[in-house]
A and B are shown apart, each in its own frame.
Chain A
Amino acid sequence: MLTTATAEASRAGRARARDADSSISIALAGSGGSGVMTAGTLLLNAAAKAGLYGIMVRTSGPQIRGGEAAALVRLASHPVESLGDKFDLLLAMDWQNVGRFADEIPLEASSVMIGDPDEGEAPEGFSHSGARYVPLSLKKMTKAIPGSWPNMVALGLAGALAGILAEALEAALRDSWKKTDVALQANVAALRAGIAAAAGIDGPPKLVPGDAPSGKRWLISGNEATGYGAIRGGVRFVAAYPITPATELLEWMAPALTKVGGTLLQAEDELASINMIIGASYGGVPSLTATAGPGLALMTEGIGLAVSAEIPVVVVDVMRGGPSTGIPAKSEQSDLSFAVSGLVGDAPRLVLAPTSIADCLATTQWAVQLAEAMQAPAIVLSDQFMGQSRAIIDQPAESRLVGKRLTATANTPDYKRYRNTDSGVSPMAIPGTPGVVYTADGLEHTEGGIPSSQSRDHRLQLDKRERKLLQYDYGDAWADIQGDGDGAVITFGSATAAAREAVARTAERGIDVRLIALRLMSPAQPERLVRALEGVTRVLVVEQNHGAQFYRYLRSAFDLPGKPASFHRPGPLPLRPGELTEAIVQWWGQ
């Protein structure tokens, strides 16, 4: 029931949605097995076919499999990287445990909730938003079409209410079909029933399709983009242990590596994975592992070995809520401190962070290239938000950035594996090469690789390992910089998407700030940041963790103007453009 006041709010809300960014946000939620992920994926596929852009974020309860699940979809006629502030439409297959998503699926008075009245009442968490409830007997509609599934009715409903043409929806369904034709016919009928039902619903404003994009577009998840970036960079060996939310990255890479002549090996644990890739890379094959916080914790001794023995490896950390087992299927940027400083001894390492789903490809490819060039470990900080979300993106530019290692030529006279060169990088002998054999060692060593506890050798090798990372020319890719205001928002990783949207909104309100998203987190590039901050008097650091890890890191390793401010908040809820807009406005007003 709508009161007059909420009806007015609803109209106002609709007008806002149209003007602001012409995107539509749809949540498909239900118990595990209700097929919401399939419906969400097909909705995104259909949007792609219809010439739209979009993102789909997966969310589930702590049990990962079998509990409640939701597909959070945002569609627009322009590229979108983050979720919106509110959802225009919530489509619930059932209400069983969907109430647990009340925080993750914020509604407003102009929102519409569609739910099956036979599956119970809409939870308070949703209804108090004033959103309009439209009961619809999804199960009964499905029963009327033998062999069909309720999630396909939901797909029809959601697609039609978003403004996607029936042809695109049907094409997406047909393309995905692997089962019998009879079942396909039933589900096409279910889809059409959903589309028909949508016609009778006074839904949120539909998307106005823009001009069809001219270039080629991809539908890709952050995990897939990371995996493909690794292969483009030259990775041909992966060893890993399954862990949420990195598993899909590995599952994508397993067959992909076989196709390009590489191998993926499932290890017994993360201690094994890191040492396996170190062994493979010692053998001359660019190697990678992917994990999440708990696995990264186990890998620290191995990463230290890669530092000491100067063996290039790439470790992708798809960050999730921590500490310990934490919140496995939810995003958080809380492994930063660990990544930049969490090794024993003085252990220089590379740490990179992709700034978007699409950028997972370029940043991982770059990480492979850097690791190989400097014979050092590189940690790539992705996260659950980017990793497990799928997005429609413009085809990334072709890049021939391939890892190239300085190797020793056969029979080099007086070959020394850890020779103290000007660049700090010394030619690495690859097993099979005669006349340059050596022993790689995690013990401190002489230039020739013989264990040594002499202070001279220790200083020499510490300097060498530090120098090779500090002297390298990282070029312009160290950060994404946009705008030229006298204030700057500095962020990294998946927080960049929401921050970018917030900066665009505050610009409309007359607050011009620069956005600086660091891609190279370590080694710190203080001179580069100083140049990027020229003319800036105020800085706001934005990140998704409880301890303001990025803010503290920036303050310790960089020079920031004025009194830097911090906006930090832990997961599991994603950072939203609206809250960052408020944060910027507040900071600006101080």
Chain B
Amino acid sequence: MNDIASCAPRTAQSYKSSYKPIWCPGCGDYSVLSSITKALGMVAVPPEDVAVVSGIGCSSRIPAYTSCYGFHGVHGRSLAAATGLKVARPELTVLVTGGDGDGYSIGGNHFLHACRRNVDLTYIVMDNHVYGMTKGQPSPTTEPDWDSKLSPGGTGLRVFHPLVIALAAGANFVARAFSGDPNGTAEILAQAIRHPGFSFVEILSPCVTFRPEQREWKRQAHPAPVAATDDPARAARRIMTDDGYNIGVLYAGDRAPYPTTTGKSKRSPADLEVEFEI
């Protein structure tokens, strides 16, 4: 903390690692990475006090592309790992990154309970409605009639609605962003990081390889017409009735974050022996 580097002003550059990202050309995740480092530059926490936690998938590669502490765990369990880390080390700033398959399918249960638990985390999902790393299978946010080798003719399944589910489960901050607007996304992410409790940012991040039609998103995305509300019922109504391309902070609540007892007492373990003594 007392070295020169940590006193220097922090910019997005301070949070970038030397590794060159490996994604397909045109992938939305490039600009999400840049928005994340910009947002961290705005919040200006020292990189070593930030941990970026992920599961498995294209977007889960992000931790190693930052100069922060990274954790690239197993598929779908990033929120659990981040929860343990934040509760055990409350002074750290913990970001979680991942995709729609990682977060809403295999990690769906952890997503629900992370929202409920309201640990002070920022969960960033790069949603491209497809499993990209395994080369094009439908995810929970894929349209029911989207044809693929694994589910010919489409899954026929109703699309998962992450924002309204997050809200119903108790997330304290709910926003939608679009990778095509890196500055706007950085602003939203900075707000999410600063907001206490569980902040959920769903970023529309196109997979131009398996979902080339998502190039259209840049024409469809538009700023949310109204400011964020702190009324969950109003937020739910807006989220359920909008066109799916409303960009901005949609809900910001004031629920107290999950409390931790870590470090709050320094009593010796030997004090526990009294109850065993005869």
Contacts and interface: CB of A to CB of B under 8 A. Distances in A.
Contacts of B82: 279
Contacts of A441: 64, 72
Contacts of B6: 434
Nearest to A47: B278
Q: Which of B47, B80, B82 has the most CB of A within 10 A?
A: B80
Interface string A285-321: 1010000000000000110110001000000000000
A263 B262 contact: yes
B276 A218 contact: yes
A437 interface: yes
A103 interface: no
B150 interface: no
Label chain B's interface by main secondary structure.
mixed
Interface stretch (B173-181, B217-225, B234-242, B265-273): B265-273
B81 A259 contact: no
Interface stretch (B26-34, B86-94, B184-192, B202-210): B86-94
A99 interface: no
B271 A259 contact: yes
A432 B92 contact: yes
Contacts of B278: 48-49, 216-219, 392
Nearest to A365: B269
B135 interface: no
Contacts of A282: 71, 81, 85
What's the interface size class on A, roughly?
A: 35 or more
Label chain A's interface by main secondary structure.
mixed
A261 B264 contact: yes
Given A282-B81, A434-B46, A275 B276 contact: no
B87 A237 contact: yes
B272 A260 contact: yes
Q: Which of B3, B46, B51, B109 has the most CB of A within 10 A?
A: B51
B70 A437 contact: yes
Contacts of A432: 48-49, 89, 91-92
A325 interface: no
A228 B263 CA distance: 18
B199 interface: no
Interface of A: 48-49, 216-220, 224, 228, 231-232, 236-237, 239, 256-263, 265, 267-269, 271-285, 287, 301-302, 304-305, 309, 392, 395, 411, 429, 431-435, 437-443, 449-451
4 closest A-B pairs by CB: A439-B70, A279-B84, A276-B84, A279-B81
18 contacts: A224-B276, A228-B272, A228-B276, A239-B80, A271-B109, A272-B110, A274-B80, A275-B81, A276-B80, A279-B73, A279-B85, A279-B88, A287-B88, A431-B51, A435-B3, A437-B47, A439-B72, A441-B72
